[in-house]
Amino acid sequence: MDRNKSFYKWDRLILFSGGVESTAILSSMANDTDFAVTFTKEKWQNKNDWVNIEAVKRIITKLKIKNHLFYDIPPPANFDLSLHRAHRHQVDVIYPFVLYFLRVNPQISEVYYGNNSGDRNAAYVMPLHDEWFDIFSIGWDLDPASTAKDYKRRINVVHPLGKLTKKEHWMLIPDEVKPDVYSCWARMGPNPSEEPCGTCEKCEKRKKLGLPLG
């Protein structure tokens, strides 16, 4: 990311993982004034990742998303991230980089983050997101006499489709895109499997909802 470049044509940031919820947002709501960013962690010792880079590229191409980048998060020292055990860590790693992105793109006033109505009820995950959303909403310039409008603004972080179930999100995705929407842990990271494992937590959720594995 170019620290000296500000992309003033963009007014909304979409966090895009290539999963069901974020793909539903891109499919149904994205326009040319949006910017989608996909965070990766390719250089981490823990080889698990939360995205499949090639699948994300195919989705971006099929949906004709004009503004998108991958941002690889550098591995912090002495920090073990296990996506099966450390939801606290996952959230705390991603959102500081979202804040950084917003700092160098002061025109952006809104962030879209994908989740479904079931996620909102997950007591171990959503309070962490909400905690960070409170941080985003704090005015950046605490001097009430300041006239710097860019730094008085507050960022609105929203789940635009958060009232929908995962299955309802799936129905919003075009059929030609659905084969590239991956959830299975085995299909993530630098050496992804060609097929879903059928046994991980993500696969079990899809089976329970009657959705094809991916």
Beta strand 34-40 with 156-158 is unpaired
3-state helix/strand/coil string of the chain: CCCCCCCCCCCEEEECCCCHHHHHHHHHHCCCCEEEEEEECCCCCCCCCCCCHHHHHHHHHHCCCCCEEEEECCCCCCCCCCCCCCHHHHHHHHHHHHHHHHHCCCCCCEEECCCCHHHHCCCCCHHHHHHHHHHHCCCCCCCCCCCCHHHHCCCEEECCCCCCCHHHHHHHCCCCCHHHCCCCHHHCCCCCCCCCCCCCHHHHHHHHHCCCCC
- The per-residue pLDDT for 21 is 94
pLDDT at 79 (0 to 100): 54
Residue 96 in this model has a pLDDT that exceeds 50: yes
Buried b (16+ CB within 10 A) or exposed e, 161-175: bbebebeebbebbee
pTM: 0.82
Q: Which of 2-6, 68-72, 191-195, 200-204 has the lowest mean pLDDT?
A: 2-6
pLDDT of residue 4: 38
190 pLDDT higher than 50: yes
What is the residue-averaged pLDDT of the chain?
79
For range 34-53, the mean pLDDT: 76
Cβ atoms of 182 and 212 within 8 Å: the answer is: no
Mean pLDDT of the 165-177 span: 95
Tokens 């300041």 correspond to 146
pLDDT at residue 104 above 80? no
- 88's CB contacts (< 8 A; 6+ apart) are 128
Going by C-beta distance under 8 Å and a sequence separation of 6 or more, which residues neighbour residue 3?
104
In the predicted structure, residue 146 carries a pLDDT above the cut 70: no
**pLDDT at position 167 over 90:** yes
Strand order across the 110-112 sheet: 68-72, 34-40, 12-15, 110-112, 156-158
pLDDT of residue 72: 85
In the predicted structure, residue 81 carries a pLDDT above the cut 70: no
Query: Which pLDDT tens digit goes with each residue over 108-119?
Result: 888 898 888 876
Give the chain's domains with CATH numbers.
12-178 (3.40.50)
Lowest model confidence (mean pLDDT) among 26-30, 157-161, 170-174, 182-186: 157-161
Instruction: Specify the pLDDT at position 7.
Output: 46
Give the pLDDT mean for 182-202.
89
